[in-house]
């Protein structure tokens, strides 16, 4: 069977940067350690006044199509995944296509365009749709363009303000991919939850502490569901485990529970047994409370073992590197984590061809999905072409007062007249409103 998967990806970060320990923490009266050590974040990326989900998505897609030398008529579908859409009818993908048609030869007249919504997991769902479309043979030899784009802003003084971010990931999906291929096995954990939502409002209502618990619970169910299809996961099965990263501290929590699960009844459990004993089993306890207390003690001790820490440093830590400097990108976040792991491997000169990734996606509301991907020949060239670290370095560094103005400028309920802080160069910019309330864009 021909492999189907991601043929290439590009990342576009918001042009502004907020330093969390140096600028945000002091203004909030917080210890910088809460950001760098607790949440695991150093900086957030922000959109300048001329940026939004369309400009960031179109800029990422343009770079990708030019690099992969793909013409508009070679694209059979465009799906945009976002939870920051500004129109209830006209999908963001039509705006993105309109932008690209301004500068590329040809058009997307015969491409099927849509928009996907399920909080942060919709980027992965759009990949799923593209995969199914190719597998069903309805693609006429064409590829799908998937764009995950968000301005992940919270209301001022919400606990989530620390985890903000803005950026886009564009991906091409097709046959014989150059980056990773997908497989059929996948697992879901899905429940009607009220942890994070935006009922007709721009900024989310969030029950932050509960959202953390829901993430862990749905992710565990998704892993078990995946294992029922693909067989038990072993800690050495995967080169990396890129997971949805609202902030790296969240993945640190998930990774520990995940490792405890996948190391059970393996040589990994044996290796730590001398130091911390074996994992408590439910049947060894008369009451649930006693079992839970023993499990918590075991888990706390597991986190301190060299065996766990080595595994974490190899398999998870590299996937968090980019996120530490850009914050949560909602739909793009897990795709940034995949790119981050591969980028670290390319920089370290590792050969990953044929190895696997265990990918964990999550969206509040709530649903988790687990699948694995196989790294393809060509991955290294593809990943080395990313200039995301240069983008991060070149961002305009915000003062706290500028941050407040920029946040207001993106707040739909505030009327502001704020000047841009960065200078757009060879990119799409927001260019005001048209007569029917549509947003207009131009290439600078
Ligand atoms: P908070 O309550 O302000 O922070 O917000 P905290 O007090 O819990 O501190 C955070 C961590 O820093 C804690 O670590 C502290 O101990 C530690 P933990 O105990 O949890 O391991 N800490 C320090 N460490 C070292 N030195 C210090 C220090 N001070 C504190 N000095 C919260 C945290 C996550 C609630 C908040 O950021 C929030 O509401 N975020 C938004 C919601 C969110 O991101 N949830 C994650 C799961 S849901 C999800 O991923 C979906 C989402 O992406 C949306 C979607 O799907 O669309 C959000």
pLDDT tens by residue, 410-426 = 999 998 889 999 999 99
| 315 Cβ inside 6 Å of ligand 1 | no
Q: Counting atoms of ligand 1 from 1, which one is nearest the CA of 365?
A: 56
Confirm whether 326 is a catalytic residue. Answer: no
Q: Specify the pLDDT at position 352.
A: 98
99 is catalytic: no
pLDDT tier for residue 394 given thresholds of 50, 70 and 90: very high
The per-residue b/e assignment along 84-97, b for 16 or more CB within 10 angstroms, e otherwise, is bbbeeeebbbbbbb
Nearest CA to ligand 1 atom 41: 160
Specify the 3-state DSSP secondary structure of 146: strand
First-residue to last-residue Cα distance in the chain: 44
Q: Are 232 and 21 in contact (CB under 8 A)?
A: no
pLDDT at site 1: 87
Output the CA–CA distances (angstroms, integers) from residue 209 to 35, 201, 252, in the order listed: 16, 21, 15
Q: How far apart are CA 404 and CA 384, in angstroms?
A: 35
- Residue ranges of E strands in 274-345: none
Which position among 83, 193, 221, 317 bears the catalytic label? Answer: 83
Task: Tell me: pLDDT of 384 over 90.
Answer: yes
Q: How many residues does the chain have?
A: 444
Domains and CATH numbers, the chain: 4-439 (3.40.47.10)
Q: How far apart are CA 144 and CA 134, in angstroms?
A: 9
Instruction: State the Cα–Cα distance between residues 69 and 71, nearest whole angstrom.
Output: 7
Alpha carbon of 39 to ligand 1 centroid (Å): 6
Residue 153 beta carbon below 6 angstroms from any ligand 1 atom: no
Confidence of residue 23 (pLDDT cuts 50, 70, 90): very high
Residue 181 pLDDT grade (very low, low, confident, very high; cuts 50, 70, 90): very high
322 phi, psi to nearest 5 deg: -70, -40
> Residue 373's pLDDT is what?
98
| Bond preceding residue 366 cis, omega within 30 of 0 | yes
Identify the active-site residue in 17, 42, 115, 244: 244
Q: Which residue, 12, 15, 13, 329, is CA-closest to 150?
A: 329
Q: Are strands 180-190 and 4-13 parallel, antiparallel or unpaired?
A: antiparallel
pLDDT in tens, 239-292: 999 999 999 999 999 999 999 999 999 999 999 999 999 999 999 999 999 999
Residues of the chain with pLDDT > 70: what percent?
100
Q: What is the pLDDT of residues 308-331, one digit of tens each?
A: 999 999 999 999 999 999 999 999
Residue range 137-154: mean pLDDT, rounded: 98
Closest CA relative to residue 166, chosen from 20, 255, 45, 69: 45
Kindly report the pTM of this predicted structure: 0.98
Q: Which of the four pLDDT bands, split at 50, 70 and 90, describes residue 69?
A: very high
Helices of type H across 75-200? 92-103, 122-135
Annotated active-site residue in 17, 51, 99, 120: 120
In which band, very low, low, confident or very high, does the pLDDT at 339 lie, cut at 50, 70 and 90? very high
Average pLDDT, the chain: 97
The predicted structure's pLDDT at residue 142: 98
| Ligand 1 contacts CB of residue 114 (under 6 A) | no
Active site residue 110: no
């Amino acid at each position: 069977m021909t492999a189907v998967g991601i043929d290439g990806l590009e990342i576009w970060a918001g042009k502004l940067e907020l330093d969390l320990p140096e600028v945000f923490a002091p203004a909030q009266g917080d210890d910088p350690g809460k950001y760098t050590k607790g949440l695991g974040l150093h900086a957030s990326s922000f959109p300048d006044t001329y940026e939004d989900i369309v400009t960031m998505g179109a800029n990422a897609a343009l770079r990708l199509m030019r690099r992969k030398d793909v013409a508009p008529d070679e694209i059979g579908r465009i799906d945009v995944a976002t939870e920051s859409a500004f129109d209830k009818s006209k999908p963001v993908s039509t705006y993105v296509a309109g932008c690209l048609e301004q500068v590329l030869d040809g058009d997307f007249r015969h491409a099927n365009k849509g928009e996907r919504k399920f909080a942060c997991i919709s980027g992965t769902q759009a990949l799923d749709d593209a995969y199914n479309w190719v597998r069903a043979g309805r693609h006429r030899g064409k590829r799908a363009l998937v764009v995950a784009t968000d301005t992940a802003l919270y209301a001022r003084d919400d606990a989530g303000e620390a985890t903000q971010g803005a950026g886009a990931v564009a991906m091409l999906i097709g046959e014989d991919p150059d980056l990773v291929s997908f497989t059929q096995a996948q697992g879901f954990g899905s429940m009607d939850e009220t942890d994070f939502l935006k009922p007709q409002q721009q900024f989310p209502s969030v029950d932050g502490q509960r959202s953390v618990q829901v993430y862990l619970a749905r992710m565990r169910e998704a892993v078990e569901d995946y294992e029922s299809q693909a067989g038990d996961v072993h800690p050495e099965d995967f080169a990396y485990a890129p997971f949805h990263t609202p902030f790296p501290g969240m993945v640190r929590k998930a990774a520990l529970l995940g490792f405890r699960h996948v190391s059970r009844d393996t040589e990994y459990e044996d290796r730590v047994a001398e130091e911390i004993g074996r994992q408590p089993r439910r049947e060894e306890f008369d009451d649930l409370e006693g079992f839970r207390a023993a499990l918590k003690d075991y888990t706390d001790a597991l986190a301190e073992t060299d065996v766990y820490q080595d595994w974490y440093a190899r398999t998870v830590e590299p996937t968090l590197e980019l996120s530490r400097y850009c914050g949560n990108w909602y739909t793009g976040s897990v795709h940034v984590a995949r790119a981050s792991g591969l980028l670290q491997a390319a920089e370290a000169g590792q050969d990953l061809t044929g190895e696997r990734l265990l990918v964990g996606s999550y969206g509040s509301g709530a649903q988790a999905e687990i699948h694995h991907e196989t790294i393809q020949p060509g991955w290294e060239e593809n990943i080395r072409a990313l200039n995301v670290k240069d983008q991060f370095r070149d961002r305009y560094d915000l003062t706290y007062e500028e941050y407040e103005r920029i946040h207001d400028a993106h707040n739909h309920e505030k009327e502001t007249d704020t000047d841009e802080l960065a200078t757009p160069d060879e990119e799409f910019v927001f260019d005001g409103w048209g007569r029917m309330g549509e947003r207009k864009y131009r290439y600078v």
